[in-house]
Amino acid sequence: MRSIKEKYLALSGGIGGAKLALGLSRVLDGSALTIIANTGDDFEHLGLYISPDVDTLLYTLAGINNKESGWGRADETWNFFATARELGMESWFQLGDKDIALHLYRTNRLRQGISLSAVVQELASKLGIALRLVPMSDAPVRTMVDTEIGVLAFQEYFVKHRCEPKVKGIRFAGSETAQPSGGFRAMLEHPALCATIICPSNPLLSIQPILSLPGLEKKLSNSKAPVIVVSPLVRGQALKGPTAKMMQELGLGTGVPAIARLYQGIAQGIVIDSSDAAYSEQLEALGLQVLATNIVMETLADKIRLAEELVQFAREFSGQ
Amino acid sequence: MRSIKEKYLALSGGIGGAKLALGLSRVLDGSALTIIANTGDDFEHLGLYISPDVDTLLYTLAGINNKESGWGRADETWNFFATARELGMESWFQLGDKDIALHLYRTNRLRQGISLSAVVQELASKLGIALRLVPMSDAPVRTMVDTEIGVLAFQEYFVKHRCEPKVKGIRFAGSETAQPSGGFRAMLEHPALCATIICPSNPLLSIQPILSLPGLEKKLSNSKAPVIVVSPLVRGQALKGPTAKMMQELGLGTGVPAIARLYQGIAQGIVIDSSDAAYSEQLEALGLQVLATNIVMETLADKIRLAEELVQFAREFSGQ
């Protein structure tokens, strides 16, 4: 464990981000690590407040995630869901029996007037998670995907339509006024902040909602701590999800250089897969320091090793 | 099946009432039978609107009830409940994974502004129940039990404290203003009403909330159709639940004659168990016509036979 005086901030979406977050949680002391979760995917469904990226982080960090599907809980059962379908309730979003308990807990606490940050912290504690897991904002920001078949709320695009409709644009409803959560702001301004890590999450759907918060990009630029991106692409493809497809549809280019361009002016470092090492010079020309290593995180050992290398890379920026 | 012109109304609580309701549903045409469910037990729990007697009736009439426990669904699983307990949510009221779907359906529909009557009718249809199942009122009436340890909401008394505290009184909060539901009123005034049957339910906890509605006792008295009580006691004991214990604690006496006194002025007939036939004269002296038969309903055949005898008994009142 490193000194608890060093602080690390990691911005994360769901699956890929949660894998790195788990690695970081094994490398850094809990008090040194704050994970900021994207809440642009959050939605209300069957009267339940559902926060998919927060939940993937909670379940992954608690070691109770479903490793096969990448979402939801391990050893889940589906009797609620089957019954709900029999009753004719909307059934395009799968809700496991155990998962429902978490949703109901959060929904009830929010109705009691507790902030989302406080509820997430309660859930993290109850699940035995030592680090700070903080939603990007306590106010609603909702990712809306403009597609060839119309504007879709994120979950409709992602789950109901399985990312199939061609994307024409993305916007984050509410992001003009939503403030970064208190825990997020405090860490951004923390004098001991060593680095802000952008996890290997979809830049358009998972990271952009966070960066869209008012003043956020400026706060990142003003921070003395470097911003380090971990590439969500390996050999031009996302390991999971529609990142490459969406970037192409939006004319944002392909591969790691396209990712780097998205973060130009924000990031100072980038971690790419060894298989993409040939792009290093091109990335350096964009003003980025590059670490090429194996970024595919299959085992826990992979996650820990990548986290170790990443922390070392970050410390080099601050000359430690 | 009898002529659909004859109408029957049955007032019911949970388990015992649901058994007779099931028998009646096999003897009478669906359009001839309206079951009025006690909603005095209803409560909000974990943000869900729960209606225990309605649900016992729904599950029993749909043939998906748990016959061992007497409440909830058959082949139920408990993963929601176990997880909710792990999260520190209130866990004194058991909620099965399948059961939750029904509660969430109802809660969401009520939030949308649909009446409880309409929601119950929707659920009955979805579960393939042909008869009319109608909550006693669309407005809240809440059974409050005054006990030696203080006033308890019904479910707290019944489930949390397992009916153990000595009862000093019972009141029905909201009953001064709650109107009988439209479906209930329509049947009470229906010219073809042949009988109002009071199911073998706890008179104090399940039937009294219904009778406490404004003008209800008068409507029953004014009805040309007889009111026939099926005794909830056999040899002085309830087959399930705290009827005998509560009646004793409230100084209301014991056994079938005490039941009859509770319904004096309301009922014209009473169906008692053959083992209690010795009380017949005493009951007749209270102005009641008596049918003594086997009222223990273990098998479906028991339920159907009792329902047949009951309908025959009712028809004798109207001289058919």
Reported ipTM: the value is 0.90
In chain B, % of residues over pLDDT 90? 86
Beta-carbon separation of A77 and B88 below 8 A: no
Residues from chain B that touch A101, judged by Cβ atoms under 8 A, are 80-81, 83-84, 86-87, 89
| Residue A220 near residue A189 (C-beta atoms within 8 A) | no
Residue of A nearest to B122 (CA): A87
Chain B residue with minimum CA distance to A126: B87
Q: Which residues of A touch B112 (CB under 8 A)?
A: none
Three-state SS across B41-54?
Answer: CCEEECCEEECHHH
**Amino acid letter, A258:** A
**Least confident segment among A238-242, B89-93, B132-136:** A238-242
**pLDDT band at A318, cuts 50/70/90?**
low
Residues B161-188 have pLDDT tens digits of: 999 999 999 999 999 999 999 999 999 9
CB-nearest partner of B88 from A84, A97, A126: A126
DSSP secondary structure letters along chain A: ---TT-EEEEEE-SHHHHHHHHHHHHHS-GGGEEEEEP-TT-EEETTEEE-HHHHHHHHHHTT-B-TTTSSSBTT---HHHHHHHHTT---SS---HHHHHHHHHHHHHHHTT--HHHHHHHHHHHTT--SEEEESBSS--EEEEEETTEEEEHHIIIIISTT-SPEEEEEEETTTTPPBPHHHHHHHT-TTEEEEEE-SS-IIIIIHHHHTSTTHHHHHHH-SSPEEEEPSEETTEESSSSHHHHHHHTT--SHHHHHHHHTTTT-SEEEEEGGGGGGHHHHHHTT-EEEEE-----SHHHHHHHHHHHHHHHHHHTT-
State yes or no: pLDDT of A319 exceeds 80.
Answer: no
Which residues of chain A neighbour B121 with C-beta distances below 8 Å? none
Note which residues in 124-143 of chain A have CB less than 8 A from chain B. 126
| Token pair recorded at residue B62 | 């749909």
Residue showing tokens 């998670």:
A129
The answer to whether A47 contacts B108, with C-beta atoms less than 8 Å apart, is yes
pLDDT in tens, B92-109: 999 999 999 999 999 999
Instruction: Choose among A76, A100, A105: nearest Cβ to B100.
Output: A100
User: Beta strand B193-198 with B227-230: parallel, antiparallel or unpaired?
Assistant: parallel
pLDDT of residue B318: 64
Distance CA A232, CA B294 (A): 73
Rounded to an integer, the average pLDDT of B106-115 is 97
User: CA-CA distance, A59 to B87, in Å (whole number)?
Assistant: 13
Whether residue A83 and residue B97 make contact (CB cut-off 8 A), yes or no, is yes
Task: List, for residues B69-90, the tens digit of each pLDDT value.
Answer: 888 999 999 999 999 999 999 9
B275: pLDDT strictly greater than 80: yes
Give chain A positions within 8 Å (CB) of B110.
Answer: none
Say if the Cβ atoms of B84 and A97 lie within 8 Å.
no
Please check whether residue B115 touches A, CB under 8 A.
no
User: CA B177, CA B142: separation in Å to the nearest integer?
Assistant: 12
For chain A, positions 38-57, list CB contacts with chain B under 8 A: 46-48
Mean pLDDT, chain B, integer:
94
Question: Which candidate from A80, A87, A108 shows the least CB-CB separation from B80?
Answer: A80
Contact B235/B267 with Cβ under 8 angstroms? no
Q: Mean pLDDT across the stretch B269-280?
A: 96
Nearest CA in chain A to B107: A47
pLDDT of res. B32: 94
Question: How many other C-beta atoms are found inside a 10 Å radius of the C-beta of residue B93?
Answer: 17
The answer to whether residue B2 scores a pLDDT higher than 80 is no
Which chain B residues contact residue A98 at CB under 8 A? Answer: 79-80, 82-83
Provide, rounded to the nearest whole percent, the portion of chain B with pLDDT above 70: 98
Mutate to test the interface with A, among B73, B104, B111 (most CBs of A within 10 A): B104
* Interchain CB contacts (distance < 8 Å): A and B: 83
What is this structure's pTM? 0.92
Does B91 contact chain A (CB < 8 Å)? Answer: no
Token representation of residue A30:
């809990």
Phi/psi for B154 (5° steps) reads -50, -50
Give how far A118 is from chain B: nearest CA, Å.
Answer: 15
C-alpha neighbours within 13 Å on the C-beta side of residue A296: 10
- The tokens describing B51, both together, are 């209606």
Lowest mean pLDDT among A214-223, B55-64, B186-195, B239-248: B239-248
Instruction: Write down the pLDDT at residue A222.
Output: 86
| Residue A320 confidence (pLDDT) above 70 | no
- Do A101 and B107 make contact, defined as CB atoms within 8 angstroms? no
Which residues of A fall within a CB distance of 8 Å from B90? none
Most distant CA pair in chain B: distance in Å? 61
Contact predicate B126/B118, CB 8 Å: no
The nearest alpha carbon in chain A to B73 belongs to A83
**Residue B106 amino acid letter:** R
B105 contacts in chain A (CB < 8 Å) = 84, 87, 89
Q: Is A113 part of the contact surface with chain B (CB cutoff 8 Å)?
A: no
Q: What kind and span of H or E run contains B290?
A: strand B289-293
Residue B314's pLDDT is what?
Answer: 94
Quote the mean pLDDT of chain A. Answer: 94
Interface test with B, best of A59, A75, A104, A125 (most B CBs within 10 A): A104
Q: What is the distance in angstroms between the Cα of A109 and the nearest Cα belonging to chain B?
A: 10
pLDDT at residue A271 above 70? yes
Interface contact A108-B46, CB threshold 8 A: yes
CB contact under 8 A, B100 and A80: yes
Which residues pair with residue B290 across a beta bridge?
B270
- Among chain B residues, CA nearest to A75: B79
User: Which residues on B lie below 8 Å from A80 (Cβ)?
Assistant: 80, 97-98, 100-101
From CA A136, how far away is CA A143, in angstroms rounded?
13
Parallel, antiparallel, or unpaired for β B142-147 and B167-173? Answer: antiparallel
In this complex, do B79 and A76 lie within 8 Å of one another by their Cβ atoms? yes
pLDDT tens column, A12-68: 998 899 999 999 999 999 999 999 999 999 999 999 999 999 999 999 999 999 988
B1 has a pLDDT exceeding 80: no
Position A71 confidence tier, pLDDT thresholds 50, 70, 90: confident
